[in-house]
Amino acid sequence: MHHLSIDLETFSSVPIAKAGAQKYISSPDFEILLFAYSLDGAPVEIIDLAMGEKLPPWLVQAITSPDYIKHAYNAPFEWGCLSKYIGWLPPDQWRCTMFHGLYCGYTAGLDATGRALGLSEDKRKLNTGKALIRYFCVPCNPSKANGQRTRNHPHHDPARWELFKEYCRQDVVTEMEIERRLSSFPVPDWVQKQWEVDLIINARGVAVDMDFVGGALQMGATVKQSLMQEATEISRLDNPNSVAQLTQWLQTEMDEELSDLRKDTVAQLLNRDGNSSHVQRMLEIRQELGKTSTKKYDAIEAAVCPDGRVRGLLQFYGANRTGRWAGRLVQVQNLPRTYTEPLDLARDLVRGRKLDALRAVYGSVPDTLSQLIRTAFIAPEGHVLIDADFSAIEARVISWMAGEQWRLEVFRTHGKIYEASASQMFGVPIELIKKGNPEYELRQRGKVAELALGYQGGVGAMRQMDVGHQLDDLSDDEVKDIVTRWRETNKRIRDLWYALDNAAVKVITEGGTVGLNNLIIAREFDYNQGTDCMTITLPSGRKLYYVSPGIGENQWGNPSISYMGMDQKTKRWKRIETYGGKLVENCVQAIARDCLAYAIDNLEAAGLPVIFHVHDEVVIDVAPWADDDTMLKTVCDIMRQPAPWADGLPLNAEGWVGRYFKKD
């Protein structure tokens, strides 16, 4: 078996960051400029396609041959580029070095990963790349100085072109060095297969209703213009949408200081007495302008390919602490919920650009457009969408992982975990916790507790999760009492936090391995490469990696676990602290992810093509073969099948069949 490491430099007039790789590649002016490669670790060669050089026949054959494993950093891009010219390339012949790094707990980005691994300067990505890419790979603005050209070719700056070729060569060197450094921590074959399935799903894409999207964009622009005009007339501000200008105006009008104009602040100001009519209206406009964003619709318009489908919505292993997918482009993993009814009428009014009718029937146009964004994703003519969602997957997994038997019995029977949790905490028969009874208010407390406390949360977590403000009338001591009741009711889950924390401290300080509740916690070294990780082997056999683990002291004087990772706020590679409850959360979410991946594999094998998925929900695009109930039952039955490694995990799934995406 030969190994071919590849890096391409390309040109397209389509902006790849906004439109995605598939639309970028599908552009008529797309072309591959440079093809750098190394065969079996030999010195890197480069083929200058922009200057007329050709790929040698052996290399063309190698790209399609199963005897050559192709490696690239962010391999879906190279795979997509070469597929355009050569035809469909089998995904199982490709390996992604970026994914390998993510699997091992490192970050995305060739330069960032090289730095995190401590690569020497001669093995790192050249820092001149961004400027060279801007010069050769994207259109340029025509000017008198450049002869009104819209693109820079090699002959416009031969010296810079030679530097670009060296940059391309160096990327292959860096990719190979990263792969070598990670070689002691291989990706399991079955996880590699999931990457291959994900490649196919992203290439498959999802159909979008561009007539509907166009109507939403037009309506959004009209409403925003109208609101801005009214706000300008009231306030006489140059830009009433400016936070600084509006804050100053409101402070003058209200004769008081304002700390911010966030949504919750504006809502509080609107609900108080004493506002003048023009202050009240400006606050209402501010609230409406906060809802008028059409960014999701803009993103769809930017990313839709010529065939009316959006591709590349998911990043495999985007959350590298757990291995869960992350959203890209339209960000389908954080779409607003859909409460608008009737949906069909609302969509028809948007498609027909009937702004006044939409406002008359549904009220706030911005809010309605926001809720309707999901419905832009549709089944093509003659097809339907089948949507199936795991029910309370994290609550089920943590119950199974901890062995909390009363909870498992709930999930094996009626599944009403909020009512059951409240019943256990407050000693009230579950039969009484139903609508119409005074005991029903306990359900909300059970719900907040379930959502907030499974990962060692306390009063703060309860307050944060109480989006319905049902606990506002309770003191912190009363909320703390709920926390204590929940922990006493779920002793096995509580004990799991501390057991996992102790196991992590033990393996970091002493080495070796500790087995715990179908998990294996270990300290792993590669002395040749100087790589050191704490790993948690999940029931599936997949590992979670914590790079360069260490033990410090927390604010309570207890041992504090830390590791090197990407800070989600600063986006910097730094030391991050963790604790037992957080490790449990990582494991639960990772196991839930493995359940989803197992279901996707089974759905694909059954001829049910997944077009995208959202957390624990799959969306399938298929020609109907039976009535809706039969099709949905088929999909849900597949989703309910526990994996061989998850014996006793009670899964359930529910869903719908329809013509467009929604949230029931």
Separation in Å, CA 14 to CA 29, 153, 509:
9, 17, 52
Q: Pick from 378, 397, 413: which residue ends a domain?
A: 378
**Mean pLDDT, to the nearest integer, of 240-246?**
89
Cβ pair 188, 22 in contact under 8 A: no
262 & 364 share domain = yes
The answer, yes or no, to whether residue 110 has pLDDT greater than 90, is no
> Do 363 and 228 share a structural domain?
yes
Of 429, 458, 489, the domain-final residue: 489
pLDDT tens-place string over residues 302-357: 999 999 999 999 999 998 889 999 999 999 988 888 888 999 999 999 999 999 99
Cβ contact 84:302 at 8 Å: no
Please, are residues 617 and 639 in contact by the beta-carbon 8 Å criterion? no
How large is the average pLDDT for residues 426-440? 93
Smallest CA-to-CA distance from 199 within 284, 89, 47 is with: 89
| pLDDT for res 287 | 85
Is the same domain home to 276 and 342?
yes
pLDDT in tens, 130-158: 899 999 999 999 999 899 999 999 999 99
List pLDDT tens digits, range 590-608: 999 999 999 999 999 999 9
Total domain count for the chain?
4
Distance (Å, whole) CA 623 – CA 601 = 19
Q: Which pLDDT band, with edges at 50, 70 and 90, does 112 fall under?
A: confident
Mean pLDDT for the chain? 93
- Provide the pLDDT for residue 353: 97
pLDDT given for residue 567 in this prediction: 83
Q: CB under 8 Å to 660, separation ≥6 — which residues? A: 209, 343, 347, 374, 375, 376, 377, 378, 379, 385
Q: Is the pLDDT of residue 127 over 80?
A: no
- Beta strands per DSSP E along 112-220: 206-208
Distance from C-alpha of 597 to C-alpha of 623, rounded to nearest angstrom? 23
| 12 and 148 together in one domain | yes
CATH number at residue 52: 3.30.420.10
Average pLDDT over residues 259-277: 86
pLDDT exceeds cutoff 80 at 496 = yes
Q: What is the pTM of this model?
A: 0.92
Torsion of CA 419, 420, 425, 430, to 10 degrees: 70
Q: How far apart are CA 393 and CA 360, in angstroms?
A: 40
pLDDT value of position 431: 94
Number of H helices, E strands in the chain: 26, 20
pLDDT of 568 strictly over 80:
no
| pLDDT score recorded for residue 292 | 60
Range of the domain at 9: 2-183
pLDDT at position 271: 86
Q: What is the average pLDDT across 515-531? A: 91
Q: What φ, ψ does residue 578 adopt, rounded to 5°?
A: -145, 180
Q: Is 619 helix (H, G, I), strand (E, B) or coil?
A: strand
Tell me which DSSP letter residue 108 carries.
S
Same domain, 370 and 416: no
Q: Which of 613, 612, 660, 605 lies closest to 634, judged by CA?
A: 605
Of 398, 499, 404, 401, nearest in space to 455 by CA: 398
170-188 mean pLDDT? 94
Final residue of a domain: which of 183, 216, 245? 183
Q: For residue range 211-239, what is the model confidence (pLDDT) as tens digits?
A: 999 999 999 999 989 999 999 999 999 99
My answer on whether 364 and 465 are in the same domain is: no
Q: Are 368 and 358 in contact (CB under 8 A)?
A: yes
Q: Which of 23-27, 288-292, 440-444, 570-574 has the highest mean pLDDT?
A: 23-27
pLDDT score recorded for residue 125: 72
Asked if residue 576 belongs to a domain, the reply is no
